[in-house]
Amino acid sequence: MGVLIEKPSCSPPPLSAFEAKDRPNAAEMERRRKEFSIRVITGLGTDIDRYASQSPTLVKQISKLKRKDWKIVWGADGGGTTTQFEYYDVQDNRIIIDSHFKTNQSQDIAYVTSSLAHEVGHAFFHKVPDLSSIDACIKSLMFGGGSEADAIINQLTVRKEILNAVCIDIFEEYNEYAWMKKDFVDIYNLGVNMKDMKTAKDTIAKRYSKQYTSNTKQTYEDYYCDYCKRNICKQDTSKKDVSKKDIP
């Protein structure tokens, strides 16, 4: 697959245009952020609000989720980031962000914005997982509505919109994994250019299944396999337990 190079009209140029030693310092990044208008309140602070507001997709999604009484909150330091759905024994629908990254450092602000876009993808596109079989369940959680595929595509969309709007690449700013900021960006761009996002989603989900969750430290493949086995076993005896799901 060839590399698809993005060349937004940026002034100043995006971070990806700089060598590490030449990148804007913290004061310059703060100055840039303060120029951004706020169009959505995330609940995570004004720095996150400013970044999120540069993505029309994220503004629309967060606004709609808030109208449905979703909450976006800081969680425990080191507790990981997750999306929690209200069913029977969970009090409300909420996106929980690891408070380890609750700082005014530009790399953490970018990381939280990216993580928020991922979790919003889970919440916004959510469908109840298919518990008809283990394979069907895993497939629905990796490829279906609100799946890891949807979450990552949302993350990539938000990253692209922020880059095009204000010339800040949030993946570069917090030094995202190479497979995310290069391979997945290339797959996403190819899907957009070829008008074939289904293939892009499938490819991304297959690769992402081997990565690790931020809370249980399992691979996504193993995490969802355990979830599916546990809840398919319970579905005939306890619909309450089947319905509750946290998504990392």
28 domain residue, yes or no: no
Residues sharing a CB contact under 8 Å with residue 45, sequence separation 6 or more, in sequence order: 102
pLDDT digits (tens, 9 = 90+) for 214-243: 778 899 999 999 999 988 887 755 554 444
| Spatial CB neighbours of 191, under 8 Å, sequence gap ≥ 6 | 197, 199, 200, 201
pLDDT at 22 over 70: yes
Q: Which structural domain, as residue segments, surrounds residue 161?
A: 35-234
Q: Residue 150 domain-assigned?
A: yes
Does residue 117 fall inside a structural domain? yes
Residue 11's CB is within 10 A of a number of other CB atoms, namely 5
Query: Is the pLDDT assigned to residue 11 strictly greater than 80?
Result: no
Q: Give the total number of structural domains in the chain.
A: 1
Answer whether residue 240 is part of any domain. no
Closest to 247 (Cα-Cα) out of 131, 96, 117, 109: 96
Positive or negative, the CA dihedral 217, 187, 8, 158 is negative
Average pLDDT of the residues in 11-20: 78
Which pLDDT value is given to residue 7? 47
pLDDT tens-place string over residues 93-120:
999 999 999 999 999 999 999 999 999 9
The pLDDT score that the predictor gives to residue 245 is 56
Q: Is the pLDDT of residue 246 over 90?
A: no
Q: What is the mean pLDDT of the chain?
A: 88
**Is 244 part of any domain?**
no
Q: What is the pTM of this model?
A: 0.88
* Residue 146 resides in a domain: yes
Q: Which two tokens stand for residue 105?
A: 């450092």
At residue 53, the pLDDT reads: 98
Residue 39's Cβ-count burial label (10 Å; 0-12, 13-18, 19+) is: middle
Residue 5 has pLDDT above 60, yes or no: no
| Structure-derived torsion over alpha carbons of residues 19, 22, 26, 31, reported in degrees to the nearest 10 | -100
**Residue 189: phi, psi to the nearest 5?**
-60, -40
Length of the chain: 248
27 domain residue, yes or no: no
Strands 82-84 and 246-247, bridge-based pairing: antiparallel
Q: Does 14 or 139 have the greater pLDDT score?
A: 139
Q: Say yes or no to pLDDT of 1 above 70.
A: no
Sheet holding 246-247, edge to edge: 71-74, 94-97, 82-84, 246-247
Is 17 contained in some domain?
A: no
User: Given a cut of 70, is residue 8 above it in pLDDT?
Assistant: no
Q: Render pLDDT for 46-63 as a digit per residue (tens, 0 to 9).
A: 999 999 999 999 999 999
Residue 225 near residue 213 (C-beta atoms within 8 A): no
d(CA 35, CA 25): 16
